[in-house]
């Protein structure tokens, strides 16, 4: 199976490391016959080799030089858009960053192009699913290919696999949870007495907050995630700009102290609930009782609760997910396509 990677940031490099220099550590991956034939980045150059790239060499170039070098085998000036349109591949793996302002572009177009060419698509980028899930799913179904995105929400936790394969016959009526680990870490640290700004700087140093944390602290990342869940699991048609959204930017340590005095803690809660024929989605800070399960999710943790008509509620939680969790979600999707298990 031939794949192209669009984006080669932390997640892309972790995938490459797992599939190359660390592969022997993971016996469950030994049957994944995957050739990465192209890696395309916005600012670090691109490389192509129809026979399969040397992923260890690609990793070394980025780690040593910060980019692919012109003297490398397969170095090219091809854009991700051109690659999606013309290269010979079986699956496109979209690993670029979320863009709210552009409605999920250019990742959305990359995936649409692949699907229209009867190529599978795997996305860790939540934007295309948040803004155009039904359009992309329709194309995939018509072309007989898969569009998968397990890493789009809660990293590699099998949320969509569970809904698809383990809740047959159930209608999901409500989803809620803590879906943005960065804000959960910030609020946890604020409970411990440091300011929001200090907590952001810590999260940035630890590598899970972006240089510009606006998508996290203003609730946009969380809004995109609840849209992905609502669209894919509850058959909603909503995009992040339609979510009732309030982030944590204005939360102060003084307010946190008041909440703690009431034996509560503050969490940024995402929710999607069926009300008649509509699905209502919200992202907002909520005062959660100390005894509530959500209150036990600290630091970089995340949690999701699904309520259905037949089964549940079901809770899936993650404790301090890292890049390997996110990378696993992508690899799981690749294994699903490789093994044709859906």
Phi, psi of 269 (to 5 degrees): -100, 130
Q: How far apart are CA 220 and CA 252, in angstroms?
A: 20
**Could you give the residue ranges of the DSSP H alpha helices within the chain?**
10-19, 55-65, 80-86, 107-116, 127-143, 159-165, 181-191, 196-206, 214-217, 220-234, 253-261, 323-339
Which pair of structure tokens corresponds to residue 123? Answer: 């996305």
What is the C-alpha separation between 339 and 342, in angstroms, rounded?
9
CA-wise closest residue to 4 among 45, 44, 33, 36: 36
Q: What's the farthest any 2 CA atoms get from each other in the chain?
A: 63
Label residue 124 exposed, middle or buried (CB < 10 Å: 0-12, 13-18, 19+).
buried
Structure tokens at 162: 């569970």
146, 225, 267, 274: the catalytic one is 225
Q: Is 225 a catalytic residue?
A: yes
Active site residues: 225
């Amino acid at each position: 199976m031939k794949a192209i990677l669009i984006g080669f940031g932390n997640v892309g490099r972790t995938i490459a490391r797992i599939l190359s220099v660390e592969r022997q550590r993971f016996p469950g991956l030994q049957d994944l016959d995957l050739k990465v034939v192209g890696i395309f980045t916005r600012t670090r150059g691109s490389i192509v080799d129809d026979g399969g790239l040397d992923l260890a060499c690609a990793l070394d170039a980025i780690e040593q030089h910060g980019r692919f070098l012109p003297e490398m085998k397969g170095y090219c000036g091809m854009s991700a858009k051109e690659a999606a349109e013309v290269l010979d591949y079986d699956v496109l793996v979209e690993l670029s960053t979320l863009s709210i302002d552009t409605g999920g572009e250019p990742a959305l177009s990359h995936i649409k192009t692949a699907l229209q060419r009867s190529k599978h698509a795997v996305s860790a980028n939540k934007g295309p699913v948040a803004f155009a899930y039904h359009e992309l799913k329709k194309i995939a179904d018509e072309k007989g290919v898969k569009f998968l995105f397990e890493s789009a929400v809660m990293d590699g936790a099998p949320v969509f696999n569970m809904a698809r394969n383990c809740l047959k016959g159930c209608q999901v009526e409500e989803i809620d949870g803590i879906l943005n680990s960065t804000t959960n870490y910030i609020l946890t640290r604020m409970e411990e007495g440091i300011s929001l700004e200090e907590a952001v700087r810590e999260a940035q140093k630890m590598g899970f907050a972006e240089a510009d944390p606006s998508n996290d602290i203003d609730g946009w990342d969380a809004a995109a995630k609840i849209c992905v869940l609502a669209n894919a699991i509850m058959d909603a048609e909503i995009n992040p700009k339609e979510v009732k959204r309030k982030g944590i930017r204005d939360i102060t340590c003084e307010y946190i102290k008041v909440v703690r005095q009431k034996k509560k803690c503050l969490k940024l809660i995402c929710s999607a609930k069926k009300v008649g024929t509509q699905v209502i989605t919200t992202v907002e800070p909520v005062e959660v009782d100390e005894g509530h399960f959500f209150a036990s999710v600290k630091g970089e943790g995340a949690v999701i609760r699904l309520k259905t008509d037949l089964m549940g509620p079901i809770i899936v939680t993650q404790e301090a997910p890292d890049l390997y969790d996110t990378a696993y979600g992508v690899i799981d999707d690749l294994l699903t396509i490789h093994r044709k298990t859906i």
